């Protein structure tokens, strides 16, 4: 297991994939971690956006070829949930797909087939960024 993002911090994670088996497996991996809370799981864009707004996750794990559009879904979630980090988890690792998702505002990209430890490390890293961003905003920090 990789170390937690921050002592006492519980990261909320939303899992979004249209493959029922993979979505359930990812949810189980997240649930098994003491420092991660499963905020929900979604099978399509409407459900993902609705859950993101309702649950305010720190990290959304999102499939690229997601019903309703991976890039569209990422953009809608990022607009609706300030500070959220969208981590793409996809079978497609080509540069075109990566560029399309980067343009949509995602903060990370992993190709399916990696070890769970790598996925969890990235979720925690993205979550730490979300928590730091939230703390910065609460403290009234500004850039410039």
Q: What is the pLDDT of residues 58-115, one digit of tens each?
A: 999 999 988 898 999 999 999 999 999 999 999 999 999 999 999 999 999 999 999 9
pLDDT of residue 127 exceeding 90, the answer is yes
Q: Among 114, 100, 105, which Cα is nearest to 60's? A: 105
The tens digit of pLDDT for each residue in 4-55 reads 444 556 999 999 999 999 999 999 999 999 999 999 999 999 999 999 999 9
Return d(Cα 71, Cα 59) in angstroms, integer: 16
**The token pair that represents 25 in the structure block:** 């497996």
Computed over its alpha carbons, how large is the radius of gyration of the chain? 14
Instruction: Name the residue among 108, 126, 105, 129 with its Cα closest to residue 30.
Output: 126
DSSP label at residue 6:
S
Sheet with 11-16, side-by-side order of all strands: 36-42, 11-16, 59-62, 85-90, 108-111
Q: In this structure, are residues 39 and 51 in contact, taking their beta carbons and an 8 Å threshold? A: yes
């Amino acid at each position: 297991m990789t170390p937690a993002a921050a002592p006492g911090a519980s990261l909320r994670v939303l899992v979004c994939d249209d493959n029922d088996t993979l979505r359930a497996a990812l949810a189980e991996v997240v649930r098994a971690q003491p420092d991660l809370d499963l905020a929900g799981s979604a099978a399509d864009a409407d459900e993902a956006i609705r859950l993101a707004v309702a649950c305010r996750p720190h990290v959304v794990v999102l499939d690229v070829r997601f019903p309703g559009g991976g890039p569209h879904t990422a953009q809608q979630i990022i607009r609706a949930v300030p500070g959220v980090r969208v981590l793409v988890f996809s079978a497609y690792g080509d540069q075109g797909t990566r560029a399309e998702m980067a343009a949509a505002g995602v903060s990370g990209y992993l190709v399916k087939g990696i070890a769970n430890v790598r996925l969890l490390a990235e979720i925690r890293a993205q979550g730490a960024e979300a928590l730091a961003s939230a703390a910065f905003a609460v403290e009234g920090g500004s850039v410039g």
